Amino acid sequence: MDRDFLAELFAGFGLVTIRRMFSGYGVSADGINFALVLRGAIFLRADAQSIPRFEAEGSKPFSYEAQGKVRIVGSYWQLPERLYDDPDEVTEWARAAHAAAGRAALAKRSKVKRPKKAVAKKVVKKTAKKKKTSS
């Protein structure tokens, strides 16, 4: 698959960025990567809301072999081949993938814990005391 084919396939979705990634391409919109193109197949971002749809189509998650073990990446599922000739339906699946990627990014951001200001001040005070006593 080449960039022109991908641009045409995702044209109904809107403006997408197609960049070289690994041995294929990453497809993103609004700074959110929602598709991978590897080994001649398109894999869309999926989550608990969208995986049943992929399963119903007989799709499989992205997998690869490393160090003699097959590793499965459950967050990217293969776009059903029947859709390659149906840009309107691809648009619908791409929007669902973009939404899943957005939910994943939001969940990741909410898990990042920032130190509270009071805790940060205590650390600074302890460090300052140590410097005074060692002088």
Question: Which residues on adjacent β-strands are paired with residue 65?
Answer: 70
Neighbours of 99 (CB within 10 A): 16
pLDDT band with cut points at 50, 70 and 90 for residue 2: confident
Tell me how far CA of residue 80 lies from CA of 61, 72, 84, in angstroms.
11, 18, 8
Alpha-carbon dihedral 28, 69, 52, 60, rounded to 10 degrees: 70
CATH number of 3-134: 3.30.1460.30
For residue 109, what pLDDT is reported?
A: 74
Whether the predicted pLDDT of 58 surpasses 90 = yes
Q: What is the mean pLDDT of residues 15-26?
A: 91
**Which residue would you say has higher pLDDT here, 126 or 68?**
68
For residue 132, what pLDDT is reported?
A: 57
d(CA 42, CA 53): 16
Contact 88, 34 (CB under 8 A): no
How confident is the model over 22-53, as pLDDT tens digits? 889 999 999 999 999 999 999 999 999 999 99
Structural domain spans, the chain:
3-134
